[in-house]
Structure 1
Amino acid sequence: MSSLLVTSVLLLIHLFYQIDCVSKFEKEFWEVDNHKIWAILVAGSKGWVNYRHQANVCHAYHLLRAKGIPANQIITFMYDDIANNQWNPFPGKVFNDYTHTDYYNGVNIDYSYTDVNVDKFIQVLLGDKKLESSGQKVLKSNSENNIFLYMTDHGSDGTFLFPNAGDILTNLYFNETLTQMYNDGKYNKMLIYMESCFSGSMFYDILSPDINVLAVTSANQHESSMAAFCRDPEVPACLAGGFSYNWISDSASHDITRRTVAEQFRTVKSSVSQSHVEQFGYVNLGSLELSYFQGSGEAKSLGNTTEFHQVKDEMPASEVQLFSAIHRMETQNSDEQRILNYKLLKRIVELRDLVRKTTEVISDYVKIQEPYRIPPEVNEIRLCQHEVSKAFFHECLSVNQINDAAYAVRDLTQLCSIGYSSELIVRSIIKICH
């Protein structure tokens, strides 16, 4: 055997030994301590029609607690207007599937009502000292902590929406914040699960693979996410997101100290058939066990039940508002309630038509002029999309008025991609909507 071949073999043995040592070091470092995990759970919507978002967060909260993550290391954002909503036939309870298991009781809600906003969310991620001194919970993590971030809501091109009109988290701002957290030593590794329409656009071609963050999304950058359990005979709402219910039930029904992130990704991806579950960023993180991010407990008492249904009765999130109004009208017993629901249904149909026509008129008005730059810079497009979405939701129609606004506004944000300036589009929005 030549000396060159011997040297090569020895180098390979040394390399494999180093890799094995690193892997064992990481596992030994993490497997024993749930106190090194922080979790942030965000339901970014409000209103009865968005029932599923808060139900998702409530269920996820109970999962993480049952898996052993301390309550003081789980931070929740939830508007909290569902459990005691006038439309709720089970006051004080929130369900996530047809078993009618209550997941609301026992959830610690840290940020509710108007505190569910982008500014507070970013302050929490960065561990803002002023916010902490006011008595509110923030991330107090360091480079020895892993973070699990779960977000569920509406989305549009490069945006994740919060409850108040025009309050939007953009892909650029979010990824800048993640990079700042990494540079500030706020975490070791981070796993993000996001369920919203066009959620892939929050990370596609922007999330760095070098900051130890893996993001898994319910949909790619071009499509709607899916709502599920939409035909409950007693609760006139969609009870879950299809992606969310799949990952929660997968974690609850497995020993996640032996199940990797990649295994869950593949299972959920194959289970979600009507949108494309995607992953972005540091994909090597997928080789780690889920317990690194969701805790190592056995989850014996998750919501007093271990029964999970196969996801059923799904529909695109864009159709939920209309369907829910029809469902409410069909399930109400009194003539007075039926008349009220008919008026609401009629109003939804009118607003759906209005939001489409409004974006068409604005788009036509913008296109009278020539694009100022072809092709525009990528970050120019992202900033433009932010300004356009914010202006439309604030000046014209918000997602709270009509969910279709999140989809219709894409007709305007796509103008950014072909070279029209945000200033021109925003001026056009103000002119048409005023």
Structure 2
Amino acid sequence: MKFAAALMLMLPLIASGRVPLAKTEEEGDIWVVLVAGSDGWYNYRHQSDICHAYQLLSANGIPDDHIVVMMVDDIANNRQNPYPGKIINHPTGDDVYAGVPKDYTGRQVTVENFFKVLRGDSKGLEGVGSGKVINSGPNDRIFINMDDHGSPGLFCFPYENMMANDFANLVMELKENNKFKEMMVYMESCYSGSMFQDLFPEDSGFYALSAANPHESSYAAYCSGPLNTCLGDLFSVSWMEDVESKDPNSELLKENFEITRDLTYYSDVMQWGQTSVENEVVAAFMGGKNSNTSPAKKYSVEERKASAIPSQDVPLVSLQNRLKAAKTLEEKAHLESEITALENRRSLVKRVMEKIAMKVSGDEKLVRDLMTEKQEKITAWDCYGKAVDAFHKNCFTLGQSTFALTVVPTLLNMCQAGYSSDAIVEATKNACVFPTMHNAY
């Protein structure tokens, strides 16, 4: 009789496709990796998003020993922060920094350490940060949330870049080694769709949402206010604010995707990999044990939309806003000179890439074609990886040079057109006769 009664209670949920997450030994655990791959005040939003994600997942019952956080941690106590020791993800939001684990910070936020965390390589991380890793098994689910800048086929870490094919190879290695049942990635970066395109088969157990399609910028959000920077990213705040307003034990990932897609007005949020995972409940990857059933905060859709700007324009818009608010002639003159310097660095980035393309192709018309904004699908991974690495090392440190990322598609176009990596690498050395720049934003 008890079984029959329980079945009757479950029938409406089964009919709606919302099967509650029944935790059993076979179901496994949830493991989480949260990565903010940037530093600096202009990139406030990336660490803010990741801290917010931690608060959400922790409140949903995922314990700290199953959450790994990687962030430089230079925002909360930054000299520009008017709220020392605090980080907010919404203009009227609560502090999201308190209690966040500092597993890997500063120079420890690297691609190598990220891969070691996912592999469960405790020995390789001995004496590094907290040493915490993902000790997952074949019945476990892994949720990865990553926020930073990107370009075609690459996601930036503070001082290096993660190539999409390397990440895909790692995921498939983990799958072959029975390190997860399913893995889900929510990635916030420009061109983030290119991190998954044609790289993950439908039966891989891997599912991802990208903030943008393979050819476009993502957008920052909540960019007006006293902090003179953006508090969040449009994709990130959209998916989190939706999850916080629903019961994760009944909302489907498909619903979260559709709502996030609709709220991320200016870029094309997309699904990748094994999209059938969308039929699982949010709690399967984000927890639901301590689901908050109190009324959700009401966020202004209009405010979110009105304050959004392209990610690469955050430094420029922030300076322009400060200039408008400046009260003294001295302050105005200083900000005007900063804006001029920023615009000069941007002009330099374009000139350098033109020189590289000209050196490689030897034809002005071809240079214009190679510098078109929309790039090819990535197949020449070896050439492209070497070209990106050379541009990063010889010209502009990409993690600190947001605007330089906007010309990286030209490197891909050259590789896809059949030019050799040796020619492109040599061209970067010839064009970049200055010390590698870290502030071309």
Smaller-chain TM-score bracket = 0.7 to 0.9
Q: SS of the counterpart of 2:380?
A: helix
Partner letter of residue 198 of structure 1? Y
Q: SS of the counterpart of 2:48?
A: helix
Q: SS of the counterpart of 1:38?
A: strand
Aligned residues: 402
Q: Report if the CA contact (8 A) 2:157-2:399 is conserved.
A: no
Q: SS of the counterpart of 1:41?
A: strand
Q: Report if the CA contact (8 A) 1:360-1:411 is conserved.
A: no
**CA deviation after TM superposition for structure 1 residue 380, in Å:** 5.6
Q: SS of the counterpart of 1:76?
A: strand
Partner letter of residue 290 of structure 1? V
Partner letter of residue 395 of structure 1? N
**CA deviation after TM superposition for structure 1 residue 297, in Å:** 3.3
Q: 1:244 to 1:24 in 2, by over 3 A?
A: closer
Q: Pairwise mapping of residues 203-242 of structure 1 onto structure 2 (< 5 A)?
A: 203-232=196-225, 234-242=226-234
Distance 2:119 2:401 in 1: 32
Q: With structure 2 as the length reference, what TM-score do the two structures score? A: 0.85
Distance 2:262 2:79 in 1: 37
Q: SS of the counterpart of 2:170?
A: helix
Q: Pairwise mapping of residues 273-352 of structure 1 onto structure 2 (< 5 A)?
A: 273-300=265-292, 306-310=297-301, 311-312=304-305, 313-332=307-326, 337-352=331-346
Identify which range, 97-106 or 23-32, moves more after superposition. 23-32
Q: 1:30 to 1:417 in 2, by over 3 A?
A: farther
Identify which range, 57-66 or 400-409, moves more after superposition. 400-409
Q: 1:354 to 1:41 in 2, by over 3 A?
A: same
Q: Pairwise mapping of residues 50-69 of structure 1 onto structure 2 (< 5 A)?
A: 50-69=43-62
**1:328-378 CA distances to partner (integer Å, 9 max, x unpaired)?**
333455665544433322221111111011111111111028x9xxxxx98
Report the equivalent of 1:357: 351
Report the equivalent of 2:141: 146
Identify which range, 66-75 or 204-213, moves more after superposition. 204-213
Q: Report if the CA contact (8 A) 1:172-1:383 is conserved.
A: no
Q: Pairwise mapping of residues 31-430 of structure 1 onto structure 2 (< 5 A)?
A: 36-134=29-127, 136-164=131-159, 167-232=160-225, 234-300=226-292, 306-310=297-301, 311-312=304-305, 313-332=307-326, 337-368=331-362, 381-430=380-429
**CA deviation after TM superposition for structure 1 residue 298, in Å:** 4.4
Distance 1:179 1:250 in 2: 30
**1:179-220 CA distances to partner (integer Å, 9 max, x unpaired)?**
011111111111110010000000001122222010110001
Distance 2:138 2:110 in 1: 26
Identify which range, 93-102 or 338-347, moves more after superposition. 338-347
Distance 1:340 1:31 in 2: 62
Q: Report if the CA contact (8 A) 1:219-1:275 is conserved.
A: yes
**CA deviation after TM superposition for structure 1 residue 88, in Å:** 1.4
Partner letter of residue 407 of structure 1? T
**CA deviation after TM superposition for structure 1 residue 84, in Å:** 1.3
Q: 1:104 to 1:320 in 2, by over 3 A?
A: same
Identify which range, 379-388 or 313-322, moves more after superposition. 379-388
Gaps of 5+ in 2: 1-13, 367-375, 434-441
Q: SS of the counterpart of 1:269?
A: helix
Distance 2:106 2:410 in 1: 30
**CA deviation after TM superposition for structure 1 residue 263, in Å:** 1.1
Q: 1:133 to 1:399 in 2, by over 3 A?
A: closer
Q: SS of the counterpart of 1:345?
A: helix
Q: What percent identity do the matched residue pairs reach?
A: 35
Partner letter of residue 258 of structure 1? S
Q: Report if the CA contact (8 A) 1:31-1:296 is conserved.
A: no
Q: Report if the CA contact (8 A) 2:19-2:250 is conserved.
A: no
Distance 1:125 1:421 in 2: 33
Distance 2:19 2:308 in 1: 43
**1:384-430 CA distances to partner (integer Å, 9 max, x unpaired)?**
22221121122112235531111112122211111112111111111
Partner letter of residue 297 of structure 2? T
Q: 1:378 to 1:316 in 2, by over 3 A?
A: closer
Report the equivalent of 2:5: none
Q: 1:210 to 1:327 in 2, by over 3 A?
A: same
Partner letter of residue 137 of structure 2? N
Q: Report if the CA contact (8 A) 2:18-2:280 is conserved.
A: no
**CA deviation after TM superposition for structure 1 residue 121, in Å:** 0.6
**CA deviation after TM superposition for structure 1 residue 259, in Å:** 0.7
Distance 2:377 2:192 in 1: 18
Identify which range, 205-214 or 238-247, moves more after superposition. 205-214
